[in-house]
Each structure stands twice: as C-alpha cells, then as structure tokens.
C-alpha cells in the first residue's frame, strides 16, 4: 500500500498528463450517456459515436426507445457488435425507466444496476459524468494501470473500485478513472511507453519490471528488494551505450602505456 502523499502525487501526475480527461462518448443528457455506455461494451467510443446521432434522432428519450422494434434498433446499432443482445438491453432499460422512474435516469447505484444491461461500470460512468454523483468506473485500463503503478493489487473490478475510492476524496473519483483510462489508452498500453510517463518515479512496474531488463541483474535484484531507490539505481546503472563509450578511452590509454613501456625497454 502506498502512503497517502504518494497516492496524491500519482493522481496529480496523471491529471497533468491528461488535463482534459473525460468520457469520450458524445451525449447531451443522462439518458443518452446511459444508452451510449451500454453500446460501448466490446466496442470503441469512436464507433459508438458514429451510430448514436441517428439512434437518438429516432429515439430521443426512454419513452420512444421503450416502444422501439428490435429489428429496427438492431439495424441502427449493428456496427457496435453484439447488436441483438444490446438492442434487447436498450429496449429493456428504456421500458424499466418508463415503468419505474417516469422515464428519468435515477441518480442511484442500486436503481441503475437493476436496469437491463447496466453493471457497476456503466452506472458509475453515468453517475459521475451526467448526474453529478461521484462514481469511479473501473474498466480494463483502470485495472491494468492501477495494478502496474501499485496503488492496488487486485484484478477484481469491484474490489479495485472500493480500494481506489477509499484512497481518494469523492470529488476526485470520476476524474481519477478518466485519467487512468486515458493513460491506459495512450501511454500505459499493454506495451507501456514508460519513457514518456510522468508517473514513473512512483510506479512499481517501472521499478521492478522495465528497469531490470537492460541493466545489471545484481543491481536490479537489490532494487526489487527495496535498495537502493529508483533514482540511485538509475544513476548507478548507465545504459549499455554509455558503458561502451566510457570503455573506449580507457582501452586506448592501456595500449599507449604498453607501447611506451616497450619503447623504454628497447
């Protein structure tokens, strides 16, 4: 577990990396964001943004969507994948909104997760981005990045959400998730771009994974055990190029000395 000051430094660094982090799903209200988030499962935000203008022009609210014919809806959302299941979820979600919530999207986690096709991640997206209620959506990027940095050690999204929420004030939850998602998409990808990452000084993966590869194994083993710190290690371990350069002049000097000794002997 990292100390609170380190956690704050990590999320401050992520904020500086991604100052405009926000959901990339285009929406005008909570209903549109809810439908778009359901569509984004196993798809991309860019793909969803291509189909939602026509979808919301035809079905602008829960009352209209609840009456949709599945065959018509499937055609509109076809390119997002899993269109049969998604169209059932959309119609079911809209019908329940009409029956139970007067067509409005409830600002409540329990009520949201009762809607067809809506899990905690989707509910948190809508709460945090459209309803002004703090929520911390955990997707695969949040899982990967937060575990690599070492702020959590768990691959269960519900537990990771609870751990992250416990270490941050509620007003930072949604933004923290947005920043982790963008970081996972742009920098801490499956093959991470650690050289341009400003979270590096606090990242466990960088300290114990990336640095050990091209560098002295004995020093790497000491780093993994916690000594010396990352800075010291970086100083103590010049890259291979640097090492070759510095051995050049030394070799030349040895050759010159040998030649001088031979000349003296003659």
Active site residues: 121, 139
Q: How far is the CB of 199 from ligand SF4 (least distance, A)?
A: 4
Binding flags for ligand SF4, 180-209, as an x/- string (CB under 6 A): -------xx---xxx--x-xx--x-xx---
Q: Residues of 54-78 as b/e, b for ≥16 C-beta within 10 angstroms?
A: ebbeebebbeebbebeeeebeebbe
Q: Report the distance separating Cα 127 and Cα 103, nearest Å.
A: 16
Our separate counts of H helices and E strands in the chain read 15, 0
Pick between residue 83 and residue 205 the one whose CB is nearest to ligand SF4: 205
| Contact between 149 and ligand SF4 per CB under 6 A | yes
Pick between residue 130 and residue 211 the one whose CB is nearest to ligand SF4: 211
Q: Which of 121, 129, 148, 175 binds ligand SF4 (CB under 6 A)?
A: 148
Q: How far is the CB of 202 from ligand SF4 (least distance, A)?
A: 8
Q: How far is the CB of 195 from ligand SF4 (least distance, A)?
A: 8
User: How many binding residues for ligand SF4 (CB under 6 A)?
Assistant: 14
Kindly indicate which of the ranges 17-25, 109-117, 142-150, 252-260 contains the residues binding ligand SF4, using the contact rule CB under 6 A: 142-150
Q: How far is the CB of 196 from ligand SF4 (least distance, A)?
A: 8
Q: How far is the CB of 204 from ligand SF4 (least distance, A)?
A: 8
| Contact between 112 and ligand SF4 per CB under 6 A | no
With a CB cutoff of 8 Å and minimum separation 6, the contacts of 151 are 2, 7, 10, 163, 164, 167
Q: Residue 239 corresponds to which tokens in the numbers above?
A: 């890259």
Q: Residue count of the chain, please give it.
A: 266
Q: Which long-range contacts (CB under 8 A, 24 or more apart) does 43-51 make?
A: 43/80, 43/81, 47/79, 47/80, 48/80, 49/24, 49/25, 50/79, 51/76, 51/77, 51/79, 51/80
For binding to ligand SF4 (CB under 6 A), which residues are involved?
Answer: 145, 148-149, 187-188, 192-194, 197, 199-200, 203, 205-206
């Amino acid at each position: 577990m990292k100390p609170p000051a380190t956690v704050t430094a990590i999320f401050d660094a992520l904020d500086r990396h991604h100052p405009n982090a926000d959901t990339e799903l285009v929406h005008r209200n909570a209903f549109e964001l809810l439908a778009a988030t359901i569509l984004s499962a196993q798809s991309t935000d860019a793909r969803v943004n291509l189909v939602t203008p026509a979808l919301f022009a035809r079905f602008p609210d829960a009352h209209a969507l609840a009456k949709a014919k599945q065959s018509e809806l499937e055609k509109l959302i076809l390119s997002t994948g899993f269109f049969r299941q998604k169209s059932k979820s959309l119609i079911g979600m809209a019908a329940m909104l009409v029956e139970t919530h007067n067509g409005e999207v409830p600002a409540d986690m329990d009520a949201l997760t009762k809607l067809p096709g809506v899990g905690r991640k989707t509910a948190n997206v809508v709460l945090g981005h459209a309803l002004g209620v703090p929520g911390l959506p955990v997707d695969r990027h949040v899982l990967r990045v937060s575990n690599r940095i070492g702020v959590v050690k768990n691959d269960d999204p519900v537990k990771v959400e609870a751990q992250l929420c416990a270490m941050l004030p509620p007003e930072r939850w949604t933004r923290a998730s947005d920043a982790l998602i963008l970081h996972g998409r742009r920098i801490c990808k499956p093959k991470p771009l650690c050289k341009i990452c400003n979270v590096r000084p606090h990242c466990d993966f960088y300290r114990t994974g990336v640095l050990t590869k091209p560098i002295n194994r004995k020093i790497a083993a000491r780093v993994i055990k916690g000594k010396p710190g990352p800075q010291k290690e970086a100083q103590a371990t010049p890259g291979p190029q640097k090492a070759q350069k510095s051995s050049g002049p030394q070799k030349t000097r040895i050759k010159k000395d040998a030649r001088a000794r031979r000349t003296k002997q003659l």
